């Protein structure tokens, strides 16, 4: 078996099914180290009983810098912990943590294979100076293989000179089985002509909610719609004031943060999920919406869009930084309410693409690329 150590920022509930599937492989002996149990900007519940793989939450010091939307982690002693663990392959989920660089140095000193699980796209990169470009390039050139969130993150790696033969292109996902089963038992929106819009996410600048509210204000539809905003964040007060300023208090409702178990009711009741992000490495709520049969307005800047959204079929693509584009996209929604309310199911090809087993296969393939094992993938039955 290939003794594999994966080092991630935090326990992300949506990633647990993928880790479980990797661990179930007959050739991968998986252990996961988390730099922190949960970063300061996260409110999700963690189901520890669901975690069937070996894992450790490392001791350390942690800060979340809200203005940078960035978690800083210092985990003393990780190098010596690596020496004791003696893995064959190390996977890190990015490059911008001290522990990831320590892991890379360890891999080079002890001739271990090194894989990067990469999500950022050329659009989502927030630091674009020459120094950071050089640092990122050095990290990438030192890796043996990569697994990506999707096609856009693969193009980002190509931009840095990484050859395709080093990449296992996957599709970032959640437990789509859960959302499909839950939504199947819930009633769909009534065909009453009202447009039910939904936003799910952190209330921070990069999520593009301010641009969306301004667009709705410009369209000035006096009735026949409502927007439910699910989430919390530092911009909530500012957004509430914006809603009040434009007289939309009777149409826009702030619902607060909701756990996974509560989201399916919102997704199923919505005619369209709004994902107007200005910066978004992927956008997992799009996966959740599509398997729930909900149409999506998706930002061109979200990594998920190019891989999953077929314009004016299962979603509509907009540029939230272009007021005309946002107005046109939202206007199209108002003009096609009957289509949005029609019964739609996710295509089998897209279901297979989004299944956790498929993403686990991509991770295993990246491990094989690093070790050049070249065997067949995990069974693709979904």
What DSSP line would sit under 93-129, residue for residue? Answer: S-S-SHHHHHHHHHHHHTT-EEEEEE---TTT----S
Q: What share of the chain is helix, strand, coil (3-state, %, to 5)?
A: 40, 20, 40
In tens, the pLDDT along 15-39 reads 999 999 999 999 999 999 999 999 9
Q: In a 10 Å sphere around its CB, with 0-12 CB exposed, 13-18 middle and 19+ buried, how is residue 72 labelled?
A: middle
Question: DSSP labels for 348-367?
Answer: HHHHHHHSHHHHHHHHHHHH
Inter-CA distances, 18 with 173, 231, 274, Å: 9, 25, 26
Three-state DSSP class for 5?
strand
pLDDT value of residue 151: 97
The residue length of the chain stands at 382
In sequence order, what are the residues at sequence separation of 6 or more whose Cβ sits closer than 8 angstroms to the Cβ of residue 192? Answer: none
Q: What is the dihedral of CA 223, 228, 233, 235, to 10 degrees?
A: -10
Integer Cα distance of 35 and 78 in angstroms: 10
Whether the per-residue pLDDT at 4 is higher than 50: the answer is yes
pLDDT value of residue 126: 61
Measured distance between the N- and C-terminal CA atoms of the chain, rounded to whole angstroms: 24
In tens, the pLDDT along 118-161 reads 999 998 876 567 888 899 999 999 999 999 999 999 999 999 99
Whether the per-residue pLDDT at 190 is higher than 50: the answer is yes
């Amino acid at each position: 078996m290939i003794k594999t150590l994966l080092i991630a920022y935090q326990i992300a509930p949506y990633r647990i099914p993928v880790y479980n599937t990797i661990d179930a492989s007959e050739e991968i002996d998986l252990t996961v180290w988390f730099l922190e149990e949960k970063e300061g900007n996260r409110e999700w519940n963690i189901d520890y009983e669901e975690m069937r793989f070996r894992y450790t939450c490392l001791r350390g010091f942690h800060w979340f810098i809200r203005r940078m939307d960035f978690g800083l982690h210092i985990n003393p002693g990780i190098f010596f912990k690596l020496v004791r663990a003696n893995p064959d392959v190390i996977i890190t989920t990015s490059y911008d943590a001290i522990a990831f660089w320590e892991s890379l140095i360890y891999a080079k000193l002890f001739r271990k294979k090194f894989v990067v699980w990469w999500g950022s796209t050329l659009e989502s990169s927030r630091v674009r100076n020459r120094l950071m470009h050089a640092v990122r390039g050095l990290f990438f050139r030192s890796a043996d293989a990569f697994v990506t969130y999707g096609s856009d993150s693969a193009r980002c790696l190509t931009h840095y000179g990484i050859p395709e033969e080093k990449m296992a292109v996957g599709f970032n996902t959640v437990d789509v089985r859960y959302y499909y089963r839950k939504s199947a038992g819930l009633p769909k929106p009534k065909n009453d002509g009202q447009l039910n819009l939904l936003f799910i996410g952190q209330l921070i600048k990069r999520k593009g909610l301010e641009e969306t509210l301004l667009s709705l204000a410009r369209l000035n539809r006096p009735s026949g719609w409502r927007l439910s905003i699910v989430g919390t964040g530092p911009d909530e007060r500012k957004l509430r004031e914006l809603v009040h300023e434009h007289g939309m208090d009777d149409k826009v409702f702030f619902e607060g943060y909701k756990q996974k178990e509560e989201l399916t009711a919102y997704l199923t009741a919505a005619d369209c999920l709004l994902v107007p992000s200005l910066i978004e490495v992927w956008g997992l709520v799009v996966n959740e919406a599509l398997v729930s049969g909900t149409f999506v307005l998706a930002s061109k800047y979200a990594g998920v869009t190019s891989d999953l959204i077929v314009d004016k079929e299962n979603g509509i693509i907009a540029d939230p930084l272009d007021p005309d584009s946002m107005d046109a996209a939202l206007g199209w929604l108002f003009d096609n309410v009957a289509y949005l309310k029609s019964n739609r199911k996710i295509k089998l090809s897209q279901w297979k693409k989004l299944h956790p087993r498929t993403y686990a296969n991509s991770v295993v393939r990246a491990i094989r690329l690093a070790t050049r094992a070249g065997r067949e993938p995990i069974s693709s039955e979904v």
